[in-house]
A and B are shown apart, each in its own frame.
Chain A
Amino acid sequence: MDRSLQPSDPAPLTGADQAAAEALFPLLYEELHRLAHRQLAGEREGHTLCTTALVHETYMKLAEHTRARFSSREHFLSVAALAMRRILVSHARKVHAEKRGGGLQRLDLDNVEIPVHERAEALVALDAALDRLTALNSRWGRIVECRFFGGMTEEETAAALGINARTVRRDWVKAKGWLLHDLEQAVGA
């Protein structure tokens, strides 16, 4: 459906910020996606795409409409990080889906395709590992989402998740280590 111009809905009864964030997720997702596509379409030449910039740009765009829904900018960014994760991973899957058959596909000169490369696969593998980590420790999972996908600083992450910066710093080392270790195990298994 065509929803991009819908004004924000009334605040939720539960009063829970998190619930509000979820309600806004589709709007955010669409906005981020649109910006990403705009980059693809080359509408704004000269800009190198950067997920962090995208997330912050989305914040600028939606801040006016959404300030009632979020307790803080950091809180918004953490939700945007989740949206960014979904977008990047779904793109990664698409890149793979459109890969030149593993085999004998003739090269279509008139059909320019997105180059296929291993990064897409790495990202999909990381996404799965992050799901596993989140099942074990959801706070670590959220920290990785904020830091990696949202490009947030330690302080921003701490503010968004309502924990102190030292905890973020310590958890980040552990979560990062677990993920890298898990991915390496998958390789070596």
Chain B
Amino acid sequence: MEPERWRRVEALLDRALDMSDQERDAFLERECADDPALAAEIRGILHAGERPDSVLDTAAPRLGAALLGDGTTPPPAPERVGPYRIERLIGEGGMGSVYLARRDDGEFDQRVALKLVRHGLHLDARIVRRFREERQILAALNHPGIATLLDGGITGDNLPYFAMEYVEGLPITRYCDARALSLEERLGLFARVCDAVAHAHAKKIVHRDIKPSNILVTDSGEPRLLDFGIAKLLDADPRSTELTRRSERLLTPEYASPEQIRGEPVVMASDVYALGVLLYELVTGRRPFTRVGRNAHELERAVLDEEPTRPSEAAPHEPLRRQLRGNLDAIILTAMSKQAARRYHSAAELGADVTRHLRGEPITARNARGIDVARRWARRHRIAVAGAGVALLAVTGAVAAVAIREAPAGDTGLHTLRLSSPRHVTNEEGLELDPAISPDGQHVAYAAGPEGAMRIFVRQREGSRAVAISGSLKGSHRSPRWSPDGTRILFQAERGLWLVPALGGSPQLVIGAPADTVTAHSPTWSPDGSSVAWVARDTIYAKELAAERPRVVATAAVPHSLAWSPDGRWIVMVSGNAEFVYHRLGNLGPSALYLLPARCDAGSCAQVLLAPPTSLNTSPAWLDASRLVFVSSRGGPRDLFAVRIDSNGRPLEDPVPLSAGQDMHTVSAAADGRTLAYSVFRQNSNIWSLDISGSAPRRLADAVRITSGQQTVEGLELSADGQSIVFDANRTGYQDIYVVSAAGGEAERVVSTNQDKFHPSWSPDGSTLAFHTFHEGVRRAATAPARGGPVHLIRPDGPAREEHTPVWTRDGSGLVYFRLFADGAQLYMVRRAADSTWSDERQLTRHGGMWPSFSRDGSLMAYVAAPGVVRVMGVDLDESSSWVALDASVRESSGVVAVSSVIAPDRETILVKGEDPQGPGFWRVPVRGGPPRLLVRLDDARRASPRPEFTTDGRRIFFLLSEREADVWAVRLEDR
């Protein structure tokens, strides 16, 4: 809706709301004399809004029940539809039901599948239209591989229906398995499916929902493509496009292409993608992104972010792996490229390549696209390649160059933009953030230093030493912004926004924060340098530097990261997730980009949405008066996107990606719109250790590194002999299990499967590892040999209840784990029977329990009953025998609130991780209770991991530290 019209709608609604019907009619007639449609709209909105029992008043609880819980009963089947006698219901869809029916009017005797719009649907007009579209599409198709449309009509109740050839068969995947088809037979069958899809493509029809259940194979081995229920006629009229686009959001994510998940227009290559997934599943038996425990949302993220495991690596056995390596890897990965332009252009091309492979002829995928596939692999494997520190930076640099050369073409007005010549501006250890490139592109200002006390530095784009310019003001100095003439820099620090000469000098407070507890942040200069705009709380202010008072431009939800356009008309802002920029850099919560007119007064103007809050969108920077770049996670990793606006500020097209896999944080552009500076931010966690045998508390600075690498570690446990640590880490993408010497060094991967495994625990004899994995969305305990081998759930047929962090009892006969409930967690134990099965689950606690650990002799178990309450249980593992080692009352005296605990092997003391008023740390507590003694102060907020897990032998403590690295890069933007 036009912003002006919307303002009018709002005003009219507001005034007409309190009127009686009569008053309202007269009022609207008067006010909308020029626009009767507007009067009707206002009347319609108010009538609808005043209904007391609308779906919006009553439906939420019922919707919840219907969607999440008890389903509804299917509607009764009609007896007859037109000339057909209904035999039974064979399927239900969003639009209606499908019945097996028989025509019995004597003309034919044929079984058909009859699709009928359901009676009384809430949105029936729309559904009816889509139903008609499906029928039209089917009528246009005539191919042996596509179920034929036979007949159609309208029932006595005015419900449209159509009849199709009834196909008896199995979904293609089940058919292949049931008949144990060879690889060649599968490929042959797949090529015929490609033929059928190619027929639709030739008619400019995109199926959009290709998946095994929509491809049935008959007894005689004929594949039939079904369900054009959401198919789309390319070049159809825009209204219908809008409809089908809406319905796209309903797809199964496993077969949906990245562009479908993003809600972007579908093209023939979207079907090619789904065919690629189908071929993947046909030849490996697995779906590329399906993993135990993933919900639909995570699956969608995976389709957008993750490169699929190579089919040859996913295959279950080596002979098959050999057959897939090479051609078939290349064909499938080409069909499944994230970018539609890199895929085969149609199903016909894909089918032809499969046929070529079958005939032993050279395929096109490798020649044309093999290099791309290789490069993408290089990129994916940087995680495995990269070590710590310098090595990491070097590899990242190389990857940046590759990724940027690969920046996609797209088919928009921004498609000629390319990033080139990326180079490090900073690569010190630690965080360098908020790069602002000077208007002439020669210098970069940025924030660096410990979190909470960052300072502003300036250095030349081409290297040179950094100069600190922001002085000794309190607080963290952030968000430097060059004045348009390049002589001064505005930044935020204590009490407000400060101005300092670009070469250093005394900062002057120019914008005071409204109160001590409120920060003024996100400054931006007007293009003529006379004014600045900034944010405090939820309000955007602007002020001429010479003026007394600021004016309010607008208010918004969590506004930040303002940028004033070069023509002075607009201020672009981010709404939501200020934390990503200012505090918790790992927070990938969603945020939106809006344009607001810079002249706007006190929020009277409509804001134009540039990027919806469906992903992280942040740090906008103007290239010129009509083009912006910003950082977005819409493509998966945080990358740079460009967008163009028209004279009304509306985006002209979907944003175009300029980089791939860069993990960017913020970006800025020089006045020429050609030179950019951006920061890249990454985070790891690793195991470190400290000797705690002395009497004085240790500092984090003394900690010794045990593991290194780009990974996230969650659980860790020291072996009984104190020589090795077992831990989980996601070095390859999956959380696998590794063992490393307690003295540090190379870790060895011992258990590796295509699903995440967390919190490994050694059996007392060191032979078997227990851990939890996700099975159908629930954490389930599993075991695997410590030297590597298959993973088994301990109770594969047990109830789907959580078995979180299983820990061995010291006699090796039991596992203790915990289960989360709405009101806390409780501990449970299972025992291994003589026949090696696990059974007899017993609840150990009723008053809370998590993080169990045993003394070496197995006589005592410590656990955390609630935050701040550590309990100890005797050998009979009965809560009635437990006593409190550290309880809430200690909070009063010592202030220590424990979140996790591990009992020392000698059973004299318990080590706890927790927090006191001075911050987080580790303490030692006597088993029989008593005041905690500080062991380690986690005195570096930048490195301290919030995770509760740690392990100890009583002399040393092993715990997790996170490493956060951010560097500034400069890059040229070329327009070819």
Chain A contact residues, CB within 8 Å of chain B: 1-2, 4-7, 9-10, 12-16, 18-19, 22-23, 25-26, 33-37, 39-41, 43, 48-52, 54, 57, 60-61, 64-65, 86, 88, 90-107, 114-125, 128, 131, 135-138, 142, 144, 147-149, 151, 170, 172-181, 183-184, 186-189
Is A107's CB under 8 angstroms from B537's CB? no
Check A88/B63 contact, CB under 8 A, given A121-B250, A173-B46, A180-B56: yes
Interface pairs (29), CB distance under 8 Å? A6-B948, A15-B519, A16-B537, A22-B587, A43-B801, A48-B70, A49-B68, A51-B63, A96-B94, A97-B253, A97-B296, A100-B90, A102-B98, A103-B228, A104-B90, A104-B98, A104-B113, A104-B164, A105-B227, A107-B88, A107-B89, A117-B66, A118-B121, A119-B122, A124-B246, A173-B46, A176-B48, A177-B13, A177-B47
Contact with A along B587-609 (1 / 0, CB 8 A): 10100000000000000001001
Known pairs A48-B65, A102-B93 / 10 extra A-B pairs, C-beta < 8 Å: A15-B518, A16-B558, A90-B295, A91-B67, A94-B296, A101-B226, A103-B113, A119-B63, A177-B46, A180-B55
Q: Which of A12, A25, A61, A135 has the most CB of B within 10 A?
A: A135
Q: Nearest A residue to B712 by beta-carbon distance?
A: A1
A119 to B579, CA, bound (A): 36
Q: Which of A16, A98, A136, A181 has the most CB of B within 10 A?
A: A16
A2 to B549, CA, bound (A): 50
A4 cross-chain contacts in B, Cβ below 8 A: 820
A13 to B347, CA, bound (A): 53
Is B45's CB under 8 angstroms from A12's CB? no
User: In the complex, which of the residues A93, A105, A136, A177 contacts B49, with contact meaning CB atoms closer than 8 Å?
Assistant: A177
Q: Nearest A residue to B575 by beta-carbon distance?
A: A138
Is A180's CB under 8 angstroms from B51's CB? yes
The minimal Cβ–Cβ distance linking B692 to chain A, given in whole angstroms, is: 22
A106 cross-chain contacts in B, Cβ below 8 A: 90, 168-170, 216
- The yes or no answer to B252 lying at the interface (CB within 8 A) is yes
Chain B contact residues, CB within 8 Å of chain A: 1, 6, 10, 13-14, 17, 41, 44-51, 54-57, 59-61, 63-74, 88-95, 98, 113, 115, 118, 121-127, 134, 147, 164-170, 209, 213-214, 216, 224, 226-230, 239, 246, 249-253, 295-297, 452, 476, 517-519, 521, 537-538, 556-558, 575-579, 582-584, 587, 589, 606, 609, 612, 712, 714, 730, 735, 756, 758-759, 777-779, 800-801, 820, 822-823, 850, 867, 899, 915, 941, 946-948
Is A119's CB under 8 angstroms from B66's CB? yes
A15 to B253, CA, bound (A): 38
B777 cross-chain contacts in A, Cβ below 8 A: 37
User: In the complex, which of the residues B124, B213, B295, B941 contacts A105, with contact meaning CB atoms closer than 8 Å?
Assistant: B213
Is A136's CB under 8 angstroms from B606's CB? yes
B126 cross-chain contacts in A, Cβ below 8 A: 186-187, 189
Check A131/B54 contact, CB under 8 A, given A93-B250, A122-B123: no
Is B55's CB under 8 angstroms from A104's CB? no
Is A7's CB under 8 angstroms from B948's CB? yes
B55 cross-chain contacts in A, Cβ below 8 A: 122, 180
The minimal Cβ–Cβ distance linking A57 to chain B, given in whole angstroms, is: 6
B127 cross-chain contacts in A, Cβ below 8 A: 118, 121
Is A101's CB under 8 angstroms from B71's CB? no
A121 cross-chain contacts in B, Cβ below 8 A: 94, 123, 127, 250
Q: Nearest B residue to A52 by beta-carbon distance?
A: B61
Check A128/B612 contact, CB under 8 A, given A13-B582, A88-B63, A119-B67: no
Check A1/B714 contact, CB under 8 A, given A12-B583, A34-B820, A102-B98: yes
B91 cross-chain contacts in A, Cβ below 8 A: 100-105, 107
Q: Nearest B residue to A51 by beta-carbon distance?
A: B64
User: In the complex, which of the residues A10, A33, A95, A104 contacts B226, with contact meaning CB atoms closer than 8 Å?
Assistant: A104
User: In the complex, which of the residues A105, A137, A142, A181 contacts B48, with contact meaning CB atoms closer than 8 Å?
Assistant: A181
Is A187's CB under 8 angstroms from B123's CB? yes
User: In the complex, which of the residues A40, A104, A179, A188 contacts B167, with contact meaning CB atoms closer than 8 Å?
Assistant: A104
Kindly count the residue-residue contacts between A and B in the assembled complex, taking CB atoms under 8 Å apart.
317
A86 to B298, CA, bound (A): 13
Is A180's CB under 8 angstroms from B587's CB? no
A50 cross-chain contacts in B, Cβ below 8 A: 61, 64-65
A180 cross-chain contacts in B, Cβ below 8 A: 48-49, 51, 54-56
A2 to B947, CA, bound (A): 10
The minimal Cβ–Cβ distance linking B916 to chain A, given in whole angstroms, is: 14
The minimal Cβ–Cβ distance linking A45 to chain B, given in whole angstroms, is: 11
Is B66's CB under 8 angstroms from A14's CB? no
User: In the complex, which of the residues B74, B166, B249, B735 contacts A115, with contact meaning CB atoms closer than 8 Å?
Assistant: B74
B59 cross-chain contacts in A, Cβ below 8 A: 148
Is B115's CB under 8 angstroms from A102's CB? yes
Check A18/B948 contact, CB under 8 A, given A49-B65, A90-B297, A106-B168: no
Is B521's CB under 8 angstroms from A14's CB? yes
Is A51's CB under 8 angstroms from B60's CB? yes
A114 cross-chain contacts in B, Cβ below 8 A: 71
User: In the complex, which of the residues A13, A36, A137, A187 contacts B125, with contact meaning CB atoms closer than 8 Å?
Assistant: A187
Q: Nearest B residue to A122 by beta-carbon distance?
A: B122
A2 cross-chain contacts in B, Cβ below 8 A: 714, 735, 756, 758-759, 779
B13 cross-chain contacts in A, Cβ below 8 A: 174, 177
A107 to B49, CA, bound (A): 42
A140 to B180, CA, bound (A): 58
Is B123's CB under 8 angstroms from A101's CB? no
A137 cross-chain contacts in B, Cβ below 8 A: 6, 10
Is B249's CB under 8 angstroms from A124's CB? yes
Check A93/B296 contact, CB under 8 A, given A19-B578, A124-B250: yes
B60 cross-chain contacts in A, Cβ below 8 A: 51-52, 88, 148-149, 151
Is A101's CB under 8 angstroms from B227's CB? yes
User: In the complex, which of the residues A19, A105, A173, A181 contacts B579, with contact meaning CB atoms closer than 8 Å?
Assistant: A19
User: In the complex, which of the residues B66, B227, B579, B800 contacts A22, with contact meaning CB atoms closer than 8 Å?
Assistant: B579
Is A57's CB under 8 angstroms from B93's CB? no
Check A22/B589 contact, CB under 8 A, given A40-B69, A105-B90, A120-B94: yes
Is A6's CB under 8 angstroms from B946's CB? yes
Is A120's CB under 8 angstroms from B64's CB? no
Check A7/B946 contact, CB under 8 A, given A103-B229, A180-B51: yes
Check A97/B252 contact, CB under 8 A, given A25-B589, A123-B67: yes
B54 cross-chain contacts in A, Cβ below 8 A: 176, 180
The minimal Cβ–Cβ distance linking A7 to chain B, given in whole angstroms, is: 5
The minimal Cβ–Cβ distance linking A11 to chain B, given in whole angstroms, is: 9
Q: Nearest A residue to B17 by beta-carbon distance?
A: A170
Is A26's CB under 8 angstroms from B90's CB? no
Q: Nearest A residue to B820 by beta-carbon distance?
A: A4
Is A88's CB under 8 angstroms from B64's CB? yes
A178 to B63, CA, bound (A): 20
Is A123's CB under 8 angstroms from B63's CB? yes
